[in-house]
Amino acid sequence: MNKINLRKEGVLKLSQLKLEVSEQATSLISDYLLDLGSLGVAEDIKENSMYEISSYFPMDTDIAEVIDKLKQYLEVLKDSIADLTVGALTVEHIDQTSWQAWKSVLKKIRVGKRIIIRPPWEDHVALDDDVVIEINPSLAFGTGHHETTRLCIETIENILNTRDVGNVLDVGCGSGILSIAASKLGVQNVMGFDTDPIAIIESRKNAKKNGVLDQIKFFCGYLQSVKGQYDLIVANVFIEPILFMKEDLKELLADKGVLIISGIPHTRRDEAVRGLKPAGLELQHELREGDWVALEFLAV
């Protein structure tokens, strides 16, 4: 799963640094790499239950210095995190040719029953009530090709098919894909926010491209800045911030409102359910794809 950080426009040459590490330290290391100047960070679970962190730096970055600082930080973490495992550390240079190679890999996909997500180079003739979303892949989380994004969109679609939803809050909107999906499925009042200003720029671009910018309000900030109450809140982020924000999320839910969380490894599903229950959030439904789950909670 990816952090909510994007590449800068016009950056065509990058250094990609990859590190395998056990789950306990993924968020700490990702945040540290962002502090070192990374343009974006992605985290993906491997078959051996290790996590691979991919971070991207401008080509003119002194990558040797970044690696040296990262190794020093890992030594500090080893002293404070029990059973921390650190695997291979590699560096690869990516140029415009590598970005263009995505076109042979990232194709249009169907999510749920109605949503078609396509990159700009893929055409699609809409059938019946298909809802087409165009997203330009970048280093942003939320192209629709990751399981957590697909699970969120499918859950949103299921909820909108069974109940009236007047407004939606998208926590950590990234590329804006979840806000766009909710809007194109008929929700008239959508708000999305992210702590990264570049993510907000990207979200607005994608919303405008899909003709729904007038229906979505994006802002850069934190959950504490959100006012009002929402029929549906969706948060496709890591479990740690979800548990930290659980009381605030509950306060922002309308009576019988629904919270969708994704970005949750199936191995931590029970932890998420137990953690949210004291806040008055009860599990209603869940979807699983691969190693990930999306959980739907009702405010009680």
pLDDT value, residue 42? 76
Q: Which two tokens stand for residue 147?
A: 């399981």
pTM of the model: 0.72
CATH architecture for segment(s) 14-100 = 2-Layer Sandwich (3.30)
Question: DSSP characters for the chain?
Answer: -B-S--PPTT---EEEEEEEE-GGGHHHHHHHHHHTT-SEEEEEE-TTS-EEEEEEEETTS-HHHHHHHHHHHHHHHHHHSTT--EEEEEEEEE-HHHHHGGGGT---EEETTTEEEE-TT------TT-EEEE---SSSS-SS-SHHHHHHHHHHHHHHHHS---EEEEES-TTSHHHHHHHHTT-SEEEEEES-HHHHHHHHHHHHHTT-GGGEEEEES-GGG--S-EEEEEEES-HHHHHHTHHHHHHHEEEEEEEEEEEEEGGGHHHHHHHHGGGTEEEEEEEEETTEEEEEEEE-
CATH 3.40.50.150 fits 146-299, yes or no: yes
d(CA 46, CA 197): 30
Segment 143-193, tens digit of pLDDT: 666 788 899 999 999 999 999 999 999 999 988 999 999 999 999 999 999
What's the chain's average pLDDT?
86
- What is the band of 4 on the pLDDT scale with cuts at 50, 70, 90? very low
What residues are paired with 111 via a beta bridge? 115
- What is the band of 11 on the pLDDT scale with cuts at 50, 70, 90? very low
pLDDT value, residue 103? 60
| Phi, psi torsion values for 139, nearest 5 degrees | -85, 15
Q: Which two tokens stand for residue 285?
A: 């439904």
pLDDT at residue 102 greater than cutoff 80: no
Place of tokens 């911030």: 241
pLDDT value, residue 243? 94
Going from N- to C-terminal start, the domains of the chain cover 14-100, 146-299
Mean pLDDT of 199-205: 87
